[in-house]
């Protein structure tokens, strides 16, 4: 499993919004400056976060993004999944993939299932608030 730029940017946006939670709506330009990221890349990630309901957006001069719930109520897993779609270590464990014809005889599948469970348990045990500590 490798977390791509989409997942990392989603997490960066969310951490920045959590750090500025009391400031109301935060512009993506400000986030891009603080995180030293391309505004173009962050726009795509912000759209995915918005579509997933993790952030609320507002247009206009004082618009931007803000968290849709308190930072303590987000898991790192749900944030990364909004950008990645899947965190499965192998494609046959992705929910969107067709059932593997070798699943019944695959000697490595139990290992990858266990790895997937460890990864998800770890990422679900960490909250956005934890990252601010």
| Residue 31: pLDDT over 80 | yes
Averaged pLDDT of the chain:
92
Our measurement of the distance from residue 11's CA atom to the centroid of its chain's CA atoms, rounded to an integer in Å, reads 5
pLDDT of residue 4: 92
The predicted structure's pLDDT at residue 93: 86
Average pLDDT estimate for 47-65: 92
Domain 5-131: give its CATH code: 1.10.10.10
Task: Give 59-95 pLDDT, tens digit per residue.
Answer: 988 889 999 999 999 999 999 999 998 898 988 888 7
Matching residue, tokens 């962050």: 42
Domain boundaries defined on the chain: 5-131
Please state the rounded mean pLDDT for residues 98-122.
89
DSSP secondary structure letter of residue 3: -
Residue in the structure block whose two tokens are 């997942």: 7
pLDDT at position 60 is 85
* DSSP code at position 56: E
Tokens found for residue 100: 């593997």
Question: What's the CA gap between 97 and 25, in Å, rounded?
Answer: 38
Beta-strand relationship, 55-58 and 64-67: antiparallel
């Amino acid at each position: 499993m490798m977390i791509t730029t989409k997942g990392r940017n989603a997490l960066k946006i969310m951490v920045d919004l959590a750090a500025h939670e009391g400031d109301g709506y935060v512009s993506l330009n400000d986030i891009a400056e603080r995180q030293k990221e391309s505004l173009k890349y962050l726009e795509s990630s912000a759209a995915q976060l918005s579509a997933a309901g993790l952030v609320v957006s507002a247009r206009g001069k004082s618009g931007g993004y803000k968290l849709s719930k308190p930072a303590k109520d987000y898991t790192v897993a749900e944030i990364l999944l909004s950008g990645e779609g899947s965190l499965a270590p192998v494609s046959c464990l992705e929910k969107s993939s067709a059932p593997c014809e070798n699943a019944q005889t695959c000697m490595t599948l139990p290992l990858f299932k266990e790895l997937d469970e460890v990864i998800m348990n770890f990422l679900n045990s960490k909250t956005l608030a934890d990252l601010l500590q």
